[in-house]
Structure formats: structure tokens, C-alpha cells
Amino acid sequence: MQTAYYLWIGVAVVASALFAWYSYFFKEKRLSNSLYYLAVLRFISILSAAFLLINPKFVTKSFQDEKPVLSILLDQSKSIEYLNASEQLNSDYQSLIQNEDLVEKFEIRTFALDDNFKPFDSLSFKGDATNISNGLSKNQELFKSRNNVTLLLTDGNQSRGRDLAFTKLNNLESLFPIIYGDTTVYDDFRIGQVNVNKYSYLKNEFPVEIFVQYIGDVSRESRLTIKNGNQIVYRENLTFSKNNSSTVISALLESTSIGTQRYQIAIEPFTEEKNTSNNYRNFAVEVIDQQTKVAIITASMHPDVGALRKAIESNQQRTVEIVNPDKVSNLNEYNLIIFYGVNEDLKPIINQVKLLGKNTWWLLGESPDIQMINSLQNAFSIENSKDVDEVQPILNENFTAYNVDSFSFNDYPPVRAPFGMVSFNTPIDILFYKQIGSVETADPLWFNYEENTNRHSVTMGAGLWRWRSQSFIESTSFTNFDDLVSSQVQLLASNKKRKRLDVDYNSFYYQNNEIIINAMFLNKNYEFEDSGILNLYLTNLETSEKIIRPFVLSNNTYKVNLSDIEPADYNFTVKVENDVLTQSGKISILEFDIEKQFTSANSSSFNSLIDSSNIFYAGETNKVLDELLDESKYKTIEKATLKYSSLIDWYYLLGVMLLSLGLEWFIRKYNGLI
């Protein structure tokens, strides 16, 4: 308690005593015992009230022993099985956790590590990828304020995530990898990264960039081929040596037919090559015959325009042209017209677009002409005001025009929107509501509506570029914003009649990636139906095997996860039970097991992170225990905890004050002093 509190308490004691004396003894000639009782009660009441006003703070110090944390990270990826190291890893793990001295010295926490980092349940070795850097970072974040020793039981092969050279350990963490699997380095050809666009256009050439690596000291020759079905569409002879261990091949392939075109890259193995799984790589390209063209018509450049263009063109099926209203020529060549900064400069073009019956997206911009906007259409009317609001978005979870389940716009930066209220003469579908400060409103910030056979969208805020930046800040990716804009463009670029059952899927997926198919199911009033029973019926085109998977409701969409099915071509049908609605399609899952790309265990990946003396190998648990049980290291610490409490939290002090006041009143009343 601070010195000032003692001074105030002293003043309170003296003042309470003086007040009690003045109340009962200052002018009193005849003293009685009852006056002494009353004075004491008055003193207690006044002093209690003074204590509550001063409200001194008390500090309580407690001590507790805190063991260091021993985090055991178990590599659960398939590569452990491929290197025949699963039994040894399990044996070493059991010997560690059953050591009584280790259990006594450490607080042991065990986690499973593959592409994710999660609490350990049981050994399975079914992980599709290994992300060691992610596991180390999350473990470090979890115990950032504790002395932490990390035992990493792994083969050292990382197939996803940041290079370990860019991972840092804090001062409270020690890392000891235990490496499993054969560490002998064998001569090997390997196809590394393959860069290719997802889409191509019919009769066009598309580039394929292939990284080929060689491990070995002996000079070797090989041939790389690319096949489309059984036809070889590209071949190149390669020569490697110790000093020439990698090459980049750039091939141009022609798109000859529409649809999903599957290709296989192969590099011929040499006779004694141990691992040939990494000599092959599949990829696919979606060949389309046309591109969606979008025009952004604006009289002034703004960061929002650039953000929109980047977001729209993130889908390679779309191209954007930014056009000044004075230079507009043929509007019919565009599938969608976007107006940014709606003012008098755009009026002639807006009238022309109305006559052509084009779908539009109006982004009002910084200084919209509200009166002109109201005069150019009859669907809505904005109250004319020169004031603007800084508003944040609230995503409407009941929005049904497209799936918004994967989007998150919580606490996104505010945009500038017109201050006036909006009234409507037609039904609208609101995507975002306005939040002004901390107040959530029912006023629309972004909405869609239909007029005759045309679709239109209105975004009332300016400053959308901040949302795209925020998306990158939160996830190091623009995906959240870009996918939203892409969904909006997809809706507006088509006049197809809305369906009650709409399945969202890609034509092909890569094995080891998450394969999610989404479905939107609406009732007869075109409102989201959350009680539907949807099933996915798959047929393997090669084996004729049939698979049935139920959809699971997640917020306002139905989802099914197909990440565990075998690579193949599949026909599928989505059926709504107790209804006649169905939708069919075809997907391809391309084979690529990234965990098969490694020929041996890899201890060198940790050399940039820790000293080589801290790296152990399978079966060396005794050495690990000697290190961990060294009495000079990793000691239990005594941790002091300070607990602050205020006198105002002492409820019984208020009771004492009320009791003393009550007794004083009762005694005075009894003695006729009131």
C-alpha cells in the first residue's frame, strides 16, 4: 500500500474521532455511559465511510513452483511410414513418457504434427503433408511466457510452410529434434515445383514451368516428357552432374479441346534409382472458349478502382478494362458494366446501358450526385444530404445469392457512405449492413436487386481498397476480399435464372489439398432452407465404385469434404431427399502424394536453427534423457503472484457501517435523544 494511503487513513481516523467528540461531548455538561457508546458507534460509522471513499489498495503476494514445459511434437505424416520409421518412433515416444524422472521434472505436453498442429490423440501417420515451421511457431506462441523444451520426433522432411532458416526460437525455448528414417543420401531425379495457369483458351498456347532436380555425384542423362492422355505433347533430353544439379524447363502447350485437360510430366529413371514416385507429376488445365469481359467506367481514378481490378482479375477467366466515360465505344462487348463515382459525367453512359439492358454494379464513390442517382432509376431512393458517415460492414449471414460462409469482415476498416436514409421500391438482397461506431444498424451498405431480367448491385461506400489491404494483413492473402468480389461478378455477369439448388465446385482438385464441395439449397420462396437433407452420389469412372456422402450444414451453406477419396475421375449427382431437385457434374482428383517425394530422412534442415550437437537420431533416447535430466539445466522456478484488492470490495465493511448507524439510531431513540 502506498504511503499516501497511510496519510489519508491517519487523517480519516483523526477526523472521525473529532467528529464523534464534537457530536456528543463538545457542549454536553452531563456525561453518561450511553454517550460513550454513541460516540464509539459514530466514530465507527464515519471511519468506515471514509475508508470506502479513500479505497486503499492491498497487495497479496503468493508463491508457487512452476516446472519447465516439455513439448513433445510427433510427426504424424505419411512419410514416416514410407521411411519404415513408425515403430521406432512409437517405441522412443513410449520410453520418454514412461520415464519417472522426466515426468517429475517437466510438465509434459504432447502434440501431433502434420499439416496442422493439434493436441495428440493417437499415432496414425496419415497426415498428407508436414509443416514443421507452423508447428514450432504455434508451440512457441502457446508457451511464450514459460521455460519450454521442445522434442520434435520427425524425419526432418518439410513439405509445406516456411523454410526453417526463417524460423526463430525465443530465449525461453530449447529445441531437440530426433530424426527417424534412413539418412543415407541416394542418387535421385526429382520433379520439384510445377507452375501452370489454371485456365487456358481454346487454340491458344499456355506455358508450363517445370523445376527438375538431381541429387548425386555421377553424371547422368534422362528424358522429360509431357503427356496428354496417351499422346506425348512435349519432350526434352536432360543432362545432370554434381555441378549441374537442377534445371528449369519452360514448355508451351496448345489447348486443343474444351474442358479439363489432364497432363502427366515424367522424367525417365535410371536403373538403380530407389525412389521413382517423385519422377512423375500430374497437372490439369481448364480450357475455355471465351472470357468474361468487365468494364469499370469512371471519370476519376481512385485506389478502389485498382483494388477492384486486381480482385476481379484474380480469376483468370475474367479481364477488366478501365474506361473513361468520354472514350466508351462498344458497350455490347462487355458482360458486366461497373460504374465508379456516380456523378453527372456518367449520366449519358448510364442511360445508354439501360437501353442495352446490361447488368450493372454501381459503386457510388467519394462524392456521388445523389439527386442524379435518384433520377436515373426507380428501384431505390437516397435521402439527399452532403454529409457522410464512416461505416463498417456487417455481413448478412442470411444472404442467399451466393455462398458467404467462408467470408469474414469483422472489424474491417470503415468506408465513407452517404448519410441519408435509403428507401426501396423493389425487393432487395442485402449483402452488408452498416455499423456506425459501435451501433449496428439495419441500413444497407451493399445490396443487390433484380429489375425485369437484369441484375444490379449497389455499393454505397468508398474506400474498399482498405478492405483488400485488411484481408492481406489478417491472412497474408487477398483471398477474402478477392473471392467476395469474384462471387459478386459471377452473379452479375450472368442472367441465368436463379436455381433452388446450386452446387459450387471446381472441375479438378489436387490430392492432399482440401477438397470441399458447397451447395446452396433454397425453398420455393427462394429463402435459405436449413432443414434440407442433401446427399452426394459419386461414381468412380475407372472402377465404377459408388460412394455416398451426406452434406453437413455450416451456417448458411451445405458442405461435404472429399479430401480422403482416391485420385480418379468421378461423375457426381447432388440430390435433395424428399424433393425432385438434383444437380450433376464431373470432377477430377489428380494424384500427387507430396510425402512420397523424399528418399531419406533429413537432419540438415535444422542446421540453420540449432547447433548440430542438439540433433539426435532414432534410438538415442538415453542421450536425450541425459540432456533433459541434467540438474544444471531446465530447473523448476518459484513464481511470485501479486494479487491486488481494493477495500471497496470488502462487503462486510459496508455491513459494519450500516450496523453501527442502526445501533446508534436505536440507542438514541431508546434514550429519547431523537
Q: What is the mean pLDDT of residues 659-672?
A: 78
Confidence of residue 108 (pLDDT cuts 50, 70, 90): very high
- By C-alpha distance, which of 204, 143, 149, 140 is closest to 174? 149
Residues 465-487 pLDDT 10s: 999 999 999 888 898 999 999 98
Dihedral angle of Cα 519, 524, 526, 529, to the nearest 10 degrees: -50
Strand order in the sheet with 546-550: 508-510, 582-590, 569-576, 534-540, 546-550
Rounded Cα distance between 629 and 362, Å, is 68
Rounded Cα distance between 221 and 603, Å, is 29
Rounded Cα distance between 82 and 595, Å, is 8
What's 127's DSSP letter?
B
The pTM for the full model equals: 0.64
- Between 30-34, 256-260, 591-595, the lowest mean confidence (pLDDT) is in 30-34
Q: What is the mean pLDDT of residues 572-594?
A: 89
- Between 47-56, 486-495, 657-666, the lowest mean confidence (pLDDT) is in 47-56
**368: exposed, middle or buried (Cβ count in 10 Å: 0-12, 13-18, 19+):** buried
- Between 71-80, 168-177, 584-593, the lowest mean confidence (pLDDT) is in 168-177
Dihedral angle of Cα 393, 398, 401, 405, to the nearest 10 degrees: 70
CB atoms within 10 A of CB 470: 17
- By C-alpha distance, which of 173, 178, 171, 167 is closest to 69? 173
- Cell reading at 635: 530447473
- Cell reading at 620: 538415442
Determine the pLDDT at residue 646: 74
φ, ψ for residue 191, nearest 5 deg: -90, 115
How long, in residues, is the chain? 674
pLDDT(21) > 90: no
Q: What is the mean pLDDT of residues 93-113?
A: 92
Residues 364-384 pLDDT 10s: 988 888 899 898 888 999 988
- By C-alpha distance, which of 470, 345, 336 is closest to 410? 470
Percent of the chain whose predicted confidence (pLDDT) is above 90: 35
Residues 319-343 pLDDT 10s: 899 999 888 888 888 989 999 998 8
Q: What is the mean pLDDT of residues 576-587?
A: 89
Decide: 598 and 157 in contact? Cβ < 8 Å: yes
- Number of alpha carbons in the 13 Å side-chain half-sphere of residue 424: 13
Determine the pLDDT at residue 30: 66
Dihedral angle of Cα 158, 193, 596, 590, to the nearest 10 degrees: 120
Residues 111-166 pLDDT 10s: 999 988 999 988 888 888 899 999 999 998 888 888 889 999 999 888 888 888 78
The residue behind cell 540432456 is 627
Percent of the chain whose predicted confidence (pLDDT) is above 70: 98
Going by C-beta distance under 8 Å and a sequence separation of 6 or more, which residues neighbour residue 553?
Answer: 530
Rounded Cα distance between 24 and 118, Å, is 72
pLDDT(1) > 60: no
Decide: 182 and 275 in contact? Cβ < 8 Å: no
Determine the pLDDT at residue 674: 66
Decide: 451 and 427 in contact? Cβ < 8 Å: no
Run of H or E residues at 642: strand 637-646
Residues 534-570 pLDDT 10s: 999 999 998 999 999 999 988 778 999 998 888 899 9
Residues 408-442 pLDDT 10s: 888 899 999 998 889 999 989 999 999 998 888 99
- Cell reading at 369: 450526385
β-pairing, 582-590 vs 508-510, is parallel
Going by C-beta distance under 8 Å and a sequence separation of 6 or more, which residues neighbour residue 620?
Answer: 178
Rounded Cα distance between 226 and 520, Å, is 39
Q: What is the mean pLDDT of residues 289-312?
A: 89
Determine the pLDDT at residue 28: 67
Q: What is the mean pLDDT of residues 2-19?
A: 77
- Between 69-78, 312-321, 554-563, 656-665, the lowest mean confidence (pLDDT) is in 656-665
Residues 615-648 pLDDT 10s: 999 989 999 999 888 877 888 887 777 777 776 7
The residue behind cell 438482397 is 429
Confidence of residue 224 (pLDDT cuts 50, 70, 90): very high
Phi-psi bin for 606: left (phi > 0), alpha (psi -120 to 50), beta?
alpha
Q: What is the mean pLDDT of residues 63-68?
A: 84
Q: What is the mean pLDDT of residues 24-42?
A: 73
Going by C-beta distance under 8 Å and a sequence separation of 6 or more, which residues neighbour residue 75?
Answer: 89, 113, 114, 127, 130, 132, 152, 153, 154, 155, 180
- Cell reading at 46: 464515519
Q: What is the mean pLDDT of residues 205-226?
A: 91
Mean pLDDT of the chain: 87
Determine the pLDDT at residue 29: 62
The residue behind cell 452473379 is 491
What's 647's DSSP letter?
G
**Could you give the domains of the chain?**
3-62+643-670 (no CATH), 68-184+600-635 (3.40.50.410), 188-288 (2.60.40.10), 292-492 (3.40.50.880), 501-594 (2.60.40.10)
pLDDT(212) > 60: yes
Run of H or E residues at 105: helix 100-105
180 versus 398: which is more confidently predicted? Answer: 180
Rounded Cα distance between 450 and 379, Å, is 9
Catalogue the long-range contacts made by 367-374 (C-beta closer than 8 Å, 24 or more residues apart).
Answer: 367/341, 367/343, 368/341, 368/342, 368/343, 368/418, 369/342, 369/343, 369/344, 370/418, 370/420, 372/342, 372/343, 372/344, 372/347, 373/342
Rounded Cα distance between 283 and 233, Å, is 14
Determine the pLDDT at residue 303: 93
In sequence order, the β-bridge partners of residue 593 are: none
What's 408's DSSP letter?
-
Q: How many helices (H) and strands (E) does the chain have?
A: 13, 36
